[in-house]
Structure 1
């Protein structure tokens, strides 16, 4: 089975922890399209709506399980039951902003879930390939596009947790010979992002103002710059990492940074509006510490995995707005 590039897939069965999130849903769809049997977990499958899987039309094609990732026995049982060829860890508290309000929960969910999965693979003696979702937040500010050799300097509890999980994966790979790797993903967006993310706040705010449902959009620091990509493309990179011959860590990014005010301008231009007439900066929305510039160097992924981002910031904004307006017309 071919999963991107020239390498062949190791997987027939995949288990996705965090299947109900943005990346989990797109990854499930991607793997199903490659002929894999896909299992996914939620803390309580009977109570979860799996709205993203429903929105993509695949909820009935994913085999769902309940699993609490901070409970080792729960993790061990589901892995032993499924015995997958590939495991993707996409779970944990995923909001940088929320991590300042919930630092302990963020750190516990990120570090403990990763170690529990690694330890379960080791304990069961499985020949399972493991992907860990790391983050550009590990780097903190990047003075130049960051590659895999750039030291970490996280500036949020979320980034601290992701950095610790990254090194746990590296330790299990080196100490026990596990096929375990981390994808250091820079910002990647899609219509499945919840509204608490600034990108969706901008998209919905611009649409509301264009429809005269609102007059002003309040944001924090408009001068920050980010490397924005398209989430459905980034899950392809995850699958390629586990199809690669050796377990290696990869930066996944577009290689381009754009200021937040440029993202805003692009969104308002979609409606023929001048953003400066409608957007206000509110200091109450600033984080205790933030990253001024975050941009990645994806050269290694292009060279070894044959992966490169197709959509850049302008195409990402356009895709988000097309999806938002289609929902408004339908609803």
Structure 2
């Protein structure tokens, strides 16, 4: 499918209110794009991430229920986006056990609707789907790459795997220009506190400020590949600039134990984490993948992209942002 180059390309972001959506919007605006986001109700859309980056007045938010195929097609016809980014969906593994149906619909169901809308409208829109290395499940600690067998072990990963399969099917059978970024964990100050990295960051700052309640965590020995979210959205955009669509693993290539992130975060505020963290067996996750490693070699080869921010730098940036935010809150209350 030939690409039409317009003076100002348009990007449509489903999931613009989340961490990745906000950073992607910032990157695309810097590249000269017109950026449009979607929300079921624009009037109540959570714009805190956009506001934190100074973008709330630079993007348009359109009403869309992505489970409504007819409405999705109509919005595509109206906006005619050059690029469509699907970053939406329930994103908590823990919550996916409690809400498996909601998780599946919000990820796999919405992805199929977006793919079908692109197919039916016959627009030359290129689609990016945010997949996850969680799809690979337990690979025995060996690095996963694009050829690794998919073995999802939780409802969230199963939904991502189903959506990933649909992207491949629409690409092969219908010629839709679509690809999946298979993302490892990537963090930032825009993470909600329900995510463990922000939970740790917030607790370290609170304890440094005098709160005595310890931080309760589950298994600190689990290993993940943690990166810096603003770098990952650059790769998302780059994937839609290639001649042909290709699914790529996006990761740092380095996995560390959760304990390392905890230690770094507490060290940033001058604390020994071992004095302030307790293990709570109620927080242990069933079917937890012990060690998840990823090989981003193909992304480096195809895109020239490499994640550069280390886990220590991620922790430091998140702590610094949290301290600044907490201090600003105190100043406003004074």
**TM-score normalised to structure 1 length:** 0.95
Tell me the alpha carbon deviations over residues 72-103 of structure 1, each in whole angstroms, 9 at most, x when there is no partner.
Answer: 12211211110111100011111111111111
Query: How many residue pairs are counted as aligned between the two chains?
Result: 324
Counterpart pick for 1:286 among 272, 284, 287? 284
The corresponding residue for 2:205 is: 207
User: 1: distance between equivalents of 2:213 and 2:113?
Assistant: 48
- Contact 2:8 2:32 (8 Å CA) reproduced: no
Is 1:121 the counterpart of 2:118 in the alignment? Answer: yes
The corresponding residue for 1:40 is: 37
Counterpart pick for 1:56 among 53, 57, 60? 53
Alignment of 1:238-257 (within 5 A): 238-257=236-255
2:43 aligned counterpart, secondary structure: coil
The corresponding residue for 2:11 is: 14
1:59 aligned counterpart, secondary structure: coil
Counterpart pick for 1:323 among 302, 321, 324? 321
- Contact 1:26 1:235 (8 Å CA) reproduced: yes
Shift, 1:141, TM fit? 2.2
**Aligned-residue RMSD, C-alpha:** 1.4
Alignment of 1:178-327 (within 5 A): 178-327=176-325
Shift, 1:108, TM fit? 1.1
Greater displacement, 41-50 / 222-231:
41-50
Tell me the alpha carbon deviations over residues 173-198 of structure 1, each in whole angstroms, 9 at most, x when there is no partner.
Answer: 00011110000000000011000001
User: 2: distance between equivalents of 1:197 and 1:46?
Assistant: 26
- Contact 1:10 1:85 (8 Å CA) reproduced: no
The corresponding residue for 2:64 is: 67
User: 1: distance between equivalents of 2:6 and 2:187?
Assistant: 26
User: 2: distance between equivalents of 1:174 and 1:67?
Assistant: 27
Shift, 1:288, TM fit? 2.4
Shift, 1:241, TM fit? 0.1
1:14 aligned counterpart, secondary structure: strand
Shift, 1:265, TM fit? 0.9
Shift, 1:136, TM fit? 1.1
Counterpart pick for 1:91 among 88, 91, 111? 88
User: 2: distance between equivalents of 1:239 and 1:263?
Assistant: 28
Is 1:31 the counterpart of 2:18 in the alignment? Answer: no
User: 1: distance between equivalents of 2:224 and 2:108?
Assistant: 25
User: 2: distance between equivalents of 1:9 and 1:317?
Assistant: 40
Is 1:101 the counterpart of 2:113 in the alignment? Answer: no
User: 2: distance between equivalents of 1:290 and 1:279?
Assistant: 20
**TM-score normalised to structure 2 length:** 0.95
User: 1: distance between equivalents of 2:90 and 2:40?
Assistant: 13
The corresponding residue for 1:5 is: none
Segments of 5+ residues of structure 1 without an aligned counterpart are 1-7
User: 1: distance between equivalents of 2:40 and 2:286?
Assistant: 30
The corresponding residue for 2:332 is: none
Shift, 1:215, TM fit? 3.4
Counterpart pick for 2:158 among 157, 160, 180? 160
2:94 aligned counterpart, secondary structure: helix
User: 1: distance between equivalents of 2:6 and 2:53?
Assistant: 23
User: 2: distance between equivalents of 1:214 and 1:119?
Assistant: 53
- Contact 1:9 1:242 (8 Å CA) reproduced: no
